[in-house]
Amino acid sequence: MSAAKAIWIAIDGPAGSGKTTVGRLLARRLGFQFINTGSMYRAVAWGLCQGLTLEGMELDLADERVLLNGEDVTPNLYNEEVDLRASEIARDPSVRAFLIEKQRQLAQGRNVVMEGRDIGRVVLPEAEVKIFLEASLEERARRRARERGGSREEVEQELAERDARDHDFGRLDPAPDAIIIATDGLSVEEVVARALAAVREALEKDEPAGKTSEGSPLPGERGGRCARL
């Protein structure tokens, strides 16, 4: 692959499958920009709750912070109310069109790791690498309860309802050429290692003969150790 061409890596999967954690670490390891599309849906949901209109919103990302009309709204985005509203508006065609266009703009000319629900199928169908993270409902509930608090049973019910909404909207279907990684029982480092292997294999296929060698570092690749998912 030509060094001048941007490299796009898409990571999809259901809520709680580890997309954000793995995507962020993979991007850091590669020296790529990380784009969390879920935070963009959350920002729009929060803006609508504040009385803003879609036409009156300008979104941008800065070091994983989400800027809405120039204001850092990241601290407001992770609570139950925004969770529910973001899931609802993700089914609105006008919101999806607005955010998909913005996400594509953010990826242009940049090496990115973009995570979300339908990145490989809809947002970046030409991504060089498409990864779909799978995990059981029980495992995802355990992770989410540990991250945000609350009982595992309540979180499991919330995730089951979210899965039903996403399934009805076709957002839990991996791209036909996606690499499926089942994450149950794996540490973050194990999942990232598998993702890095997938990236390496895909990029080596695109490189002219003699340009890469097995085991050579990817652009910006760095080592590191991580905790469990």
Sheet holding 71-72, edge to edge: 59-62, 65-68, 71-72
In a domain, 192, yes or no: yes
Q: What is the pTM of this model?
A: 0.84
**Is 183 within 8 Å of 135 (Cβ atoms)?**
yes
In a domain, 133, yes or no: yes
- The parent domain of residue 62 ranges over 8-204
How many domains does the chain divide into? 1
**Domain containing residue 37: CATH number:** 3.40.50.300
Q: What is the pLDDT of residues 174-190, one digit of tens each?
A: 999 999 999 998 999 99
Q: How far apart are CA 93 and CA 90, in angstroms?
A: 8
In a domain, 3, yes or no: no
DSSP character at residue 120: I
Q: What is the pLDDT of residues 7-66, one digit of tens each?
A: 999 999 998 899 999 999 999 999 999 999 999 999 999 999 999 999 999 999 988 899
The SS3 call for residue 181 is strand
The SS3 call for residue 35 is strand
pLDDT of the residue at 179: 94
pLDDT band at 115 (very low <50, low <70, confident <90, very high): very high
In a domain, 229, yes or no: no
In a domain, 215, yes or no: no
Q: How far apart are CA 115 and CA 38, in angstroms?
A: 8
Residue burial 67-95, b: 16+ Cβ < 10 Å; e: rest: ebeeeebbebbeeeebbebbbebbeeeeb
Q: How far apart are CA 78 and CA 35, in angstroms?
A: 16
